[in-house]
Amino acid sequence: MILKSLSLLNYKNFQSESFVFNTKINCFVGNNGVGKTNVLDAIYHLSFGKSYFNPVSSQNIKHGEAFFVVNGDYEKQGAEEKVVVSFKKGQKKVIKRNGKAYEKFSDHIGFLPLVIVSPADSDLIVEGSATRRKFIDSVISQGDKVYLDHLIKYNKILAQRNALLKYFAVNNTFSQDSLDVYNDQLNEYAQPIFKKRQAFLEVFMPIFQARYKAISKGSEQVELEYKSDLFEADFKTLLKQTLNKDKAVQYTNVGIHKDDLVFNIGEHPIKKFGSQGQQKSFLIALKLAQFDFIKQQSGVNPLLLLDDIFDKLDESRVAQIIKLVDDEHFGQLFISDTHADRTERAVKQVHQSYNIFNLNA
C-alpha cells in the first residue's frame, strides 16, 4: 500500500500544503515546531480518523480557523483510493472513501494499516493500564472488525451499567433484575474479547521477542504478561462478588476494561528495572512486532511512521533500524528528524529511493 500524495487545509500549523511522496522513504526535516510531527499525524488521521497526539478534534484545526481537511491519495492492491477526513467546529467529523462518507468510523479502521513509532510511546511504559489496553486493541482491531465491534458494544454497556449504579446511589434504590440485564450483556462481549486478547498474545509474543533480540543484541529475556480478572473466575461470578464495592463507588470494578499488559525484562517489570536504552529498544520492538503482526494478518504492508526516533537512539541502534527498513519486508516509510544532514546520511546507506522534505520556510 502506498500513500501517493497528501494535502492539508488548516490542519494544525499548516494552512494549505501538499506533498507528493516517494513510494519508499519520505523524510520530513526542519527546526523544532516546524510541523514535522503534524504531517505524520495527518497521515495517522487518515488511517484512524483521529490524531495520535491530540484526540480533541477542534484542537487539530489551525488556530483562528473553523475547519480542517486532510486528503490522501493511496494505491492499495492495484486500486486507487481517495480518503478525506474533514472536521468543522460544532459538527461531526466526516471520513470519506472515494467520495462516500462512512456511517461508522469503525468500518474504516484497518483499511489503511499503519504503525507509528514515536517518543510518546514511552507512555506505554510509564502510564496506567488504559494506554496498554489501547495498544492491544489498536493492533487487534486493525485486522479484526468483530473484535472492534465487541469492544465498542462492551464499552457502551459498561457506561450504562455505571450510570445505573449511580442512579441507584442517588435515588437510594436497587434492582438486581435491572443490573442483571447489563451483567448478561457485558458477559456476552467480555468473553470473546478476553479470548482474542489471549490468542493475540500467544501469536504476538514470539514476534516481539525476535524483534527485541534483533535490536538489542542483548541476552536479556523480555516478555509481555497478560493480566485479566477473567483468569480468576467466571465473569458473572466476579460481578456478583464485587457488587457491594460497585454500589459503593458507583462504578464497575471488574472486567476486561481493567485488563493490563505487564512488560517484563528478565522477569521483572521494565518500568522499574529496565535501563533507558532497554526501554527504548523494548518500545521499538513492540511497534515493529505490531508491523509484522498486521502485515501477517492483512497481507498488506502497513505504512510505517518513525517520529523523531534518531534522536532517541545511539549510532549502533540507528544503524540497526536502518538495516531493518532496508529489508523488502517494509513498505513505505515516513520519517521525521530535526537534522537534515543526519537524516540524509542515514537514508543514503539504504539501497532505496527517498525524498527529503525540508519544512523550514
Ligand X SMILES: Nc1ncnc2c1ncn2[C@@H]1O[C@H](COP(=O)(O)OP(=O)(O)OP(=O)(O)O)[C@@H](O)[C@H]1O
Residues that bind ligand X (CB under 6 A): 12-13, 30, 32-38, 59-63, 308, 336, 338
What is the phi/psi pair of residue 63, to 5°?
A: -50, 135
Q: Is the dihedral of CA 12, 14, 20, 22 positive or negative?
A: negative
Hey, what amino acid is at 294? I
10 is in an annotated binding site: no
Residue 59 or 91 having the CB closest to ligand X: 59
187 is in an annotated binding site: no
274 is in an annotated binding site: no
86 and 93 Cβ atoms separated by less than 8 Å: yes
Residue 54 or 275 having the CB closest to ligand X: 54
Hey, what amino acid is at 232? E
Q: What is the DSSP secondary-structure string of 42-97?
A: HHHHHHHSS-SS---GGGGBPTT-SEEEEEEEEEETTEEEEEEEEEETTS--EEEE
Residue 61 or 286 having the CB closest to ligand X: 61
Smallest gap from residue 32 Cβ to ligand X (A): 3
Residue 118 or 252 having the CB closest to ligand X: 118
Smallest gap from residue 356 Cβ to ligand X (A): 14
Smallest gap from residue 35 Cβ to ligand X (A): 4
How does DSSP classify residue 312?
G
Smallest gap from residue 309 Cβ to ligand X (A): 11
331 is in an annotated binding site: no
Smallest gap from residue 270 Cβ to ligand X (A): 25
68 and 60 Cβ atoms separated by less than 8 Å: yes
Residue 30 or 113 having the CB closest to ligand X: 30
34 is in an annotated binding site: yes
Residue 52 or 226 having the CB closest to ligand X: 52
What is the phi/psi pair of residue 101, to 5°?
A: -75, 140
- Residue 110, helix vs strand vs coil: coil
- Residue 100, helix vs strand vs coil: strand
CA distance 224 to 60: 34
36 is in an annotated binding site: yes
CA distance 283 to 262: 13
301 and 325 Cβ atoms separated by less than 8 Å: no
Q: What is the DSSP secondary-structure string of 192-214?
A: HHHHHHHHHHHHHHHHHHHHHHH
Residue 65 or 180 having the CB closest to ligand X: 65
Residue 61 or 148 having the CB closest to ligand X: 61
262 and 269 Cβ atoms separated by less than 8 Å: yes
Smallest gap from residue 117 Cβ to ligand X (A): 14
35 is in an annotated binding site: yes
Smallest gap from residue 66 Cβ to ligand X (A): 12
CA distance 51 to 44: 7
Smallest gap from residue 52 Cβ to ligand X (A): 11
As a 3-state breakdown, the chain gives helix, strand, coil percent values, each rounded to 5, of: 50, 25, 25
**Binding site for ATP: residue ranges?**
30-37
**Binding site: residue ranges?**
30-37
